[in-house]
Amino acid sequence: MAKKTVADIDVRGRKVLMRCDFNVPLDDDRNITSDDRIVKALPTITSVLDGGGALILMSHLGRPGGQKDEKFSLTPVAKRLSELLGKDVFFAGDCVGAEAKEKARALQPGDCMLLENLRFHKEETIKDKAAKEDAQLRKAKDDFAQELADIADVYVDDAFGTAHRDNASMYTVPMAMEGKPRVIGFLIEKELKFLGETLSNPERPFVAILGGAKVSDKIGVIENLIGKVDRIIIGGAMAYTFLKGRGKSIGKSLCEDDFVDKGQELLDQAADAGCEVVLPVDHCVVRKVEAGAPHRTAVGDIEPGFQAVDIGPMAAQNFAGKIADAKTIVWNGPMGIFEMPPFDKGTNAVALAVAAATEKGARSIIGGGDSASAVEKLGVQEKISHVSTGGGASLEFLEGKKFKCLEILDEK
């Protein structure tokens, strides 16, 4: 997907509307607990400002449900961005309306402004399917998008975290700006480069590690990867849907009964394709899921009344061994309830194994979300080749889905 970037256009004297992903975590006092998403947007931001453009930033934060809610205001982001840039970032109290238009009009080359949370307006998240079926919804979404489009001369998309969504700011706005430059930022360029090159031209052995709760969320990914990877390692609660299909007793571990047969189909497909599938051989189990709960290791079958909350020590060692010789690694999803120690041991073991393989020359990609949190918590993120900023987006990319919000942007 060879798209033009901000480096391919002249922004001097132009108003540039840039979609970012500033969906940062906040504590109860609305302090930013991680500014990683802001920091990662800085290369594109500074490129526009240094190039003489006037920059208008837009983003969502949380899920305010289409109504203004101070808990989800982007004011902490504007403050942190001002600190990082060493200059004032103007803030508009809404993303559309008279104030936003007036402040955008007054911007001078090198100025930067952040609009208030896009999701304070329900029009931002109206799905295209609903809009096509309802003329009133379509008009509301189009009018909202047109207001945003009218304040700028250039559109830049640098929000990979929402690249799989048909939000107005991601798709309807650039559609309304047809004829004007519509490009990607450096962050999306990096994501497409790493994910695209990894899937299309991997060095082998190519190992995929999948975890998380639901097989149903990963069926498309597994089907797409079976013909591409040499080995798929499966942990997390989703493993028990596969294990139940293999005749194992799983106690009261999470299982999607409706997908047991599909799980066996996938295992058969993998066997036919010569793709090794590795499942946990032992498990950390508890009677009750809570912090500090008494736990033990179950080898093979899990007794009634017990629930698996992490892979066991033998599985952790086995998974690490299967990762050690990899030259290309893609990881999406934890091995257990990693946010509740000591049930983070399996996820930590995988994170350390991926980091070690990377240090030996493997290319590793972590698909955002919980996996990214795990490597950050362990302090090994700098040893990973690429940590994606988009959990859901990277998953859909691995599934082979097209992102229509990127397809409409300018080709090189």
Residues labelled as active-site residues: 37, 214, 369, 392
Q: Which residues have CB under 8 Å from 20's CB, separation 6+? A: 37, 41, 57, 58, 59, 158, 159
Task: List residues bridging with 32 in a β-sheet.
Answer: 26
User: How many Cβ atoms from other residues are within 10 Å of residue 287's Cβ?
Assistant: 15
> Encoding tokens for residue 135?
């003329």
DSSP run (H or E) holding 182: strand 182-184
In what order do the strands lie in the sheet containing 328-332?
A: 276-278, 231-234, 206-210, 328-332, 363-366, 386-387
Q: How would you list the strands of the sheet with 282-286, edge to edge?
A: 295-299, 282-286, 307-311
Give yes or no for a contact between 107 and 113, defined as CB atoms under 8 angstroms apart.
yes
- H helix runs in 87-160, sequence order: 98-106, 128-133, 135-149
CA distance 19 to 17: 7
CB burial of 293-309 (b: ≥16 within 10 Å; e: otherwise) equals eebeebeeebeeebbbb
User: CA 410 → CA 45, 101, 284, distances in Å?
Assistant: 19, 26, 50
Whether the CB-CB separation of 287 and 302 falls below 8 Å is answered with no
Residue count (the chain): 412
Q: Which amino acid is present at 208?
A: A
Which residues make beta-bridge pairs with 386? 365
- In whole angstroms, what is the distance from residue 291 CA to residue 246 CA? 30
Q: Tell how strand 363-366 and strand 54-58 pair up.
A: unpaired
Task: For residue 100, give the nearest of 74, 66, 62 by alpha carbon.
Answer: 74
